[in-house]
Amino acid sequence: MPAMSRRWLVAALVPLVALLVACGGEQLPWADDFSDPASGWQAESDASAEVGYHEGVMHVLVRSPNLLAWTSAGREFSDFHLSVEATQVAGPDDNEYGALVRMKDANHFYIFSISGDGYYQVSKYDDGEREALSGDWAPSEAVHPGAATNFLEVVCQGVTMTFLVNGVTLAQVEDNSYPRGDIGLYAGTFFEPGVETHFDNLRVEEL
């Protein structure tokens, strides 16, 4: 993998969806296999990215460099255990994809990221600034590289958030900026476009 500094290029974070957060908490458990396009995920597409339901999965294709694109559930959660299957389908391995949690709005949320070249990071997006909570991008043998499926989990309990890949805990952080909010799924590019990721079998359970 090239020098770490390139990972600190601030991606042009494009809110391709409107975040519709429910007024109250959600009934748990809640699951979605993305077989029904009416299940409520907020997704839009344009020339730079394609986001939406596709043949039983949630499909995210990013066509432009230095860009993140996501979809959100339009729900609100506080303490929960989220799990989802994330599959890199195509594009350069120098990428990022994963889950967004406790999304206050389009400019305030936590990001659990893995990459096709086997790295991970936990960060916070705060009003235009991306702050690493787990340190710089770090390699892990738990991340399946390339065109492969990774099982992602996020456990949010109070100020403590734990992040796992394929059953292995990669990071645990504490932050009280966003105690509740929506959830999302995303993919992003760095220098090379064409990152395509599919998400399936999402489940959110009560702790």
Positive or negative torsion for Cα 53, 204, 149, 118: positive
The reported pLDDT for the residue numbered 9 is 39
Going residue by residue through the chain, which has 207 residues, state the pLDDT in tens, using 9 for 90 and above: 333 333 333 344 444 443 433 334 678 999 999 999 999 999 889 999 999 999 999 999 999 999 999 999 999 999 999 999 999 999 999 999 999 999 999 999 999 999 999 999 999 999 979 999 999 999 999 999 999 999 999 999 999 999 999 999 999 999 999 999 999 999 999 999 999 999 999 999 999
The single-letter code of the amino acid at 36 is D
The reported pLDDT for the residue numbered 25 is 62
What distances in angstroms separate CA 103 from CA 9, 13, 113, 146, 197, one per listed residue? 22, 14, 15, 28, 21
The reported pLDDT for the residue numbered 191 is 96
Q: What is the pTM of this model?
A: 0.90
Residue 144 to residue 126: CA distance in whole angstroms? 29
The reported pLDDT for the residue numbered 72 is 97
Residue 95 to residue 150: CA distance in whole angstroms? 14
The reported pLDDT for the residue numbered 128 is 79
The reported pLDDT for the residue numbered 154 is 98
Residue 132 to residue 59: CA distance in whole angstroms? 26
Nearest one of 84, 37, 110, 95 to 62, comparing CA atoms:
95
